[in-house]
């Protein structure tokens, strides 16, 4: 689901440059199926991902499936297994349980000494869940802030999640769309664009970020101008100062 902390504070009109742009239009059409939006810290990546999430859920047909993974301030226990379980829950256990999940449950019930599926079993089940049924539409997976998992202390968890995402991206499931936002850290560049050519990388433009910052700041100042008792000239100066280059939202 969209991050409520972001949804409540997002200024209307921000991120419209992407939602109305060609990159988003092409991704929705499956050209490409997997898209990685990357940018510097503070450029509004989570705001953008949440905006995309909201739009997709608002426009989704009853047969469409949307799953999100937000890694902001991710705990050290976050790993590929926990991500796989989250995606299985979101995509395969909606109005009815997916047959692949029922098959896994049945397999475990016939093995009394095994109380939990292996990571490989979970991933195989997730890949099966990605295959659409007779009455299913698109399957969309959004991933935000994988770079928030510390590279130093949690390097293996971060690498395992990257490997999982690449495995899903390589699947040939019809109707699958994946979109990811993060900083372009070296290990992620290696995983997503150098070693595995399955992601279309798109740098978030600085001028679009700046325009969104100015829109956000202008609205905040204008909404508070009466309380602060400042005139139009002072408002303009304050907006120019707060929305200066290199500010973050």
Q: Which of 26, 34, 43, 7 lies closest to 171, judged by CA?
A: 34
The alpha carbon of 229 is separated from its chain's Cα centroid by a whole number of angstroms, namely 40
Helix, strand, coil percent values for the chain (each to nearest 5): 50, 10, 35
122 contact partners, CB below 8 Å, separation of at least 6: 81, 84, 85, 88, 104
Q: According to the model, what pLDDT value does residue 244 have?
A: 72
What mean pLDDT value characterizes the chain?
85
Q: What is the 3-state secondary structure (H, E, C) of 91-140?
A: HHECCCECHHHHHHHHHHHCCCCCCCCCHHHHHHHHHHHHCCCCCCCCEE
**E strand or H helix that includes residue 60:** none
Residue 217 has pLDDT above 60, yes or no: yes
Q: According to the model, what pLDDT value does residue 8 have?
A: 61
Burial class (CB in 10 A: 0-12, 13-18, 19+), 137: middle
Distance between start and end Cα atoms, the chain: 21
What CATH number does domain 4-204 carry, 3.10.20.600, 3.40.50.1220, 3.40.50.300, 3.20.20.30?
3.40.50.300
**pLDDT band, residue 247 (cuts 50/70/90):** very low
**What pLDDT, in 10s, does the model give residues 59-97?**
988 889 999 999 876 666 688 999 999 999 999 987 788
Q: Mean pLDDT across the stretch 10-37?
A: 92
Domain regions of the chain by residue span: 4-204, 205-249
Q: According to the model, what pLDDT value does residue 48 have?
A: 94
Would the pTM of this model clear 0.95, i.e. be above it?
A: no
**What pLDDT, in 10s, does the model give residues 169-209?**
998 888 999 999 999 999 999 888 876 678 999 999 999 99
């Amino acid at each position: 689901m969209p991050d409520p902390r972001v949804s409540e504070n997002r200024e209307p009109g921000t991120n419209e440059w992407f939602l109305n742009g060609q990159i988003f239009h092409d991704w929705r059409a499956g050209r490409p199926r997997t898209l990685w939006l990357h940018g510097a810290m503070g450029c509004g990546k989570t705001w953008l991902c949440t905006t995309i999430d909201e739009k997709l859920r608002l426009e989704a047909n009853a047969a469409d499936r949307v799953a999100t993974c937000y890694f902001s301030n991710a705990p050290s226990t976050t790993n590929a297994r926990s991500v796989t379980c989250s995606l299985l829950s979101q995509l395969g256990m909606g109005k009815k349980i997916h047959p692949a999940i029922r098959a896994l449950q049945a397999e475990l019930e016939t093995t009394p000494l095994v109380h939990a599926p292996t990571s490989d079993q979970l991933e195989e089940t997730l890949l099966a869940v990605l295959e659409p049924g007779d009455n299913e539409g698109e399957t969309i997976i959004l991933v935000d802030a994988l770079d928030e998992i510390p590279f130093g202390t949690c390097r293996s968890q971060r690498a395992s999640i990257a490997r999982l995402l690449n495995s899903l991206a390589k699947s040939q499931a019809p109707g699958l769309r994946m979109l990811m936002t993060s900083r372009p850290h070296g290990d992620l560049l290696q995983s997503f664009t150098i070693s595995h050519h399955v992601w279309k990388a798109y740098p978030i433009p600085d001028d679009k970020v700046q325009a969104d910052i100015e829109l956000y700041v202008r609205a905040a100042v204008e909404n508070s101008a009466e309380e602060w008792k400042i005139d139009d000239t002072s408002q303009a100066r304050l907006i120019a100062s707060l929305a200066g280059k290199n500010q973050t939202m």
